[in-house]
Chains A and B, each alone.
Chain A
Amino acid sequence: MIDLPNLDYINELAGDDIGFRNEFIAVIKEEFPVEKDEYLKHITKKRFKSTAAIVHKLKHKLNIFGMEKSYNIAVDYERELLAGQNDSEKRFINILETIESYIKTI
């Protein structure tokens, strides 16, 4: 079961600064699809080292959305990729799809 994204961290960080909150969410909305595409491009061609690098970047987004369990999956996945394996590929794509759906709602 994938944990669901939330805005708790962003809200805490922003406080009363609504401008920052909106701007920050806009940056995530802009960055995430690009990073997801890059991930898919690398994993499709089984470039594990490059995939690990982009998983590392995407990990930060999981943190921002308070997805602790998913973050731990990503940590393991990154290690797998660096070791030339991709056992957690399916679980990771589920996480990305969960975030993709969520950011359309915020």
Chain B
Amino acid sequence: MNCIIIDDEATARDVVGQLCSKIPELYVIEEFDNAISALKFLNKQTIDIVFLDIHMPGFSGVDFVQTLKDPPMIILTTSDTDFAITAYEYECIVDYLLKPITLERFEKSIKKINNLGIRQSKTKDAVELVSELGEELYINIDRRLIKIKFDEILIIQANGDYIDVKTEKDEYRVHTTLKKIKNKLPEKLFLQIHRSYIINFTKIIDIEDNSVLIAENVVPISRSSQPELRKRLNLL
């Protein structure tokens, strides 16, 4: 589920962002220090959840809720209980988090959304964007979606609950599985050659015995993957 955070205080945005980072299914697409900028953003992009502070100077959270035409689910974040009753008059407001927000309470809120039966995301998740855009992959790093072009990826390596995506310039650690990302990669460029490795086989420098050299990385080839790799190569 994609979400945005609206709060005029940086510390408050950081708190919600950090809590979101602990929920694997939540992706923070953007943070805003005012509701007007968020409204402009929502006119162009569909979002599943908005974490919204009520007390903001000028255009308040209440103004924001009243202005939305097709509101996403809204979770209020505030330090006052005063607005709680009024909040539930709005169908789009699904929960009310009192600051300081604990992880336990935050998790309950997300569970509540799931239990409401509206878990089905209106948007594509970070990895799903891949297929439609064709040439690039968006990965979720520290609550930001970072674009990586397919043809810049060298190796993707499983690493416990994470994968390491090595590109020509950088390396990124992403909380997902090799299986999940494999489904989103174009077959014409990528091949899984080992239980823990997917390679961009256009980047192979040489193949020796049971390993391939990609840039400066030696990657093992499992016995079962060798026939498929050979099939893909333009052998003389």
A96 within 8 A of B: no
Contact string, B91-111, partner A, CB cutoff 8 A, digits 1/0?
000000001101100000000
- Whether A28 and B11, one on each chain, are in contact in the complex, defined by CB atoms closer than 8 angstroms, is yes
Instruction: Write the chain A residue with the least CB distance to B8.
Output: A57
B residues 1-44 touching A (CB-CB < 8 Å)? 8-12, 14-15, 18-19, 22
Instruction: Write the chain B residue with the least CB distance to A9.
Output: B100
- Whether A60 and B11, one on each chain, are in contact in the complex, defined by CB atoms closer than 8 angstroms, is yes
- Whether A17 and B18, one on each chain, are in contact in the complex, defined by CB atoms closer than 8 angstroms, is yes
- Whether A12 and B102, one on each chain, are in contact in the complex, defined by CB atoms closer than 8 angstroms, is yes
Contact string, A38-63, partner B, CB cutoff 8 A, digits 1/0?
00000000000000010011011101
Q: Contact partner of B55 among A15, A20, A24, A56, CB < 8 A? A: A56
Contact string, A13-37, partner B, CB cutoff 8 A, digits 1/0?
1110100100110011001000000
- Whether A23 and B11, one on each chain, are in contact in the complex, defined by CB atoms closer than 8 angstroms, is no
B79 within 8 A of A: yes
Using Cβ atoms and an 8 Å threshold, which residues of chain B touch A27? Answer: 10-11, 14
- Which of B11, B15, B18, B57 has most A Cβ within 10 Å? B11
- Answer whether A13 and B15 are a contact pair too, CB < 8 Å, given A53-B57, A60-B9, A60-B99: yes
- Whether B99 and A63, one on each chain, are in contact in the complex, defined by CB atoms closer than 8 angstroms, is yes
Using Cβ atoms and an 8 Å threshold, which residues of chain A touch B10? Answer: 27, 31
* Size of A's binding interface in residues, CB under 8 A: 20
- Answer whether A13 and B9 are a contact pair too, CB < 8 Å, given A56-B55, A64-B100: no
Nearest-neighbour CB distance to chain A for B180, whole angstroms, equals 23
A20 to B19, CA, bound (A): 11
Q: List 30 A-B contacts (CB under 8 A).
A: A12-B102, A12-B103, A13-B15, A13-B18, A13-B19, A14-B18, A17-B18, A20-B14, A20-B18, A23-B14, A24-B15, A24-B18, A27-B10, A27-B11, A27-B14, A31-B9, A31-B10, A31-B11, A56-B55, A56-B79, A57-B8, A59-B79, A60-B11, A60-B99, A61-B11, A63-B79, A63-B99, A63-B100, A64-B15, A64-B100
In the A-B complex, the 4 residue pairs with the smallest Cβ-Cβ separation, listed nearest first, are: A63-B100, A27-B10, A9-B100, A24-B14
CB within 8 Å of A: which residues of B? 8-12, 14-15, 18-19, 22, 55, 57, 79, 99-100, 102-103
